[in-house]
Amino acid sequence: MAPIGAKKAEEKTTADVVNDLWQLVRDYAKQETVDPLRTIGRFLALGLGGAILLSLGVVMGVLAILRGLQTSGRHHLDEHLSWVPYLWTFLIASAVLAFSVRTITKPNRTDSAAS
Q: Using alpha carbons only, what angle is made at residue 33 by residues 47 and 30, rounded to the nearest 5 degrees?
A: 125
Tally of structural domains, the chain: 1
Lowest mean pLDDT among 7-16, 22-31, 33-42: 7-16
The verdict on residue 111 lying in a domain is no
CA atoms of 52 and 60, how far apart (whole Å)? 12
The verdict on residue 69 lying in a domain is yes
Domain that holds residue 67: 13-106
Q: Are 66 and 86 a contacting pair, CB within 8 Å?
A: yes
CA atoms of 74 and 104, how far apart (whole Å)? 38
Q: 39-95, pLDDT tens digit by residue?
A: 898 899 999 999 999 999 999 999 999 999 888 866 777 778 888 899 999 999 999
**Total number of residues shown for the chain:** 115
What contacts 12, CB < 8 A, 6 or more positions away?
Answer: 20
The verdict on residue 3 lying in a domain is no
The verdict on residue 78 lying in a domain is yes
Q: What DSSP state is assigned to residue 3?
A: -
At residue 5 the predicted structure's pLDDT band, cuts being 50, 70 and 90, is: low
Q: Are 89 and 69 a contacting pair, CB within 8 Å?
A: yes
